[in-house]
Amino acid sequence: MPISNAKRILLKLSGEVLMGEQEFGIDPAFVAELAKEVKQAKDAGWEICLVIGGGNIFRGMAGAAQGMERAQADYMGMLATVMNALAMQSALEQLGVPTRVQSAVQMDTVCEPVIRRRAERHLEKGRIVIFAAGVGAPYFTTDSGAALRAAEMRCDALFKGTSVDGVYNSDPKKNADAKRYDTVSYDKVLADNLKVMDASAVALCRDNNIPIVVFSIREKGNLARVLAGQGAQTIVQSD
């Protein structure tokens, strides 16, 4: 396992998981459950950086598809990730977990700007750092933001919690015979367009040798299992 001796991880959650069973928005009860999972991981000794998508509130690509200017739509998506970060911060702090939100789009009244050394200090002091607003520029996804922060913070692995339990050779929701990989190379993900994360995020992880672990966050207790090297997951790494 490339993550067995890992100490610091970046956990990327899709915004959709914050909806719980709702059609859109934030389900506080489900966010509270997610926060318990993150706290459990922290209590097990991991240093945790968090990145949360914004698709439960607004997705820039979807806005652009409906005729909105792409850059403007992407900025709206970035603001959605800040809302999600604040919701997760609130849930974590209610459990007694000290948390800081750092946003790539400056908004000093609600959170800190992204300052790498300050984030390092927070992690050293046992705080969880939530990075919001992606990379702070349009045309990049929160996946790219997660890969960038993982590299910047020298994380040992990037854990991507989604609604599927790994990487498949085709969409498991549409194809019952889809095969799940236990491990797959960065190059195969890129060559076969396996939709783990967008290509720039995968390439950034490959260039910095950061394994990507894809698992389902919707299963209760699954984060702890996957961190312990158990449970269904796919590890994207070098050949």
Q: Which residues are annotated as a binding site for ATP?
A: 12-15, 55, 59, 162, 168, 171
Both structure tokens of 114: 């992204």
Are the CB atoms for 19 and 53 separated by under 8 Å? no
Please calculate the CA angle 14-130-107 and round it to the nearest 5 degrees: 105
Length of the chain: 239
- Over the range 42-76, which residues count as b (16 or more CB within 10 Å of their CB) and which as e? beeebbbbbbbbbbbbbbbeebbeeeeeeeebbbb
Q: Which residues are annotated as a binding site?
A: 12-15, 54-55, 59, 74, 135-142, 162, 168, 171
Sequence letter at residue 219: E
Q: Which residues are annotated as a binding site for UMP?
A: 54, 74, 135-142
Phi-psi map region of 166: left, alpha, beta (phi>0 left; psi -120 to 50 alpha): left
Q: Which helix (H) or strand (E) holds 85?
A: helix 70-94
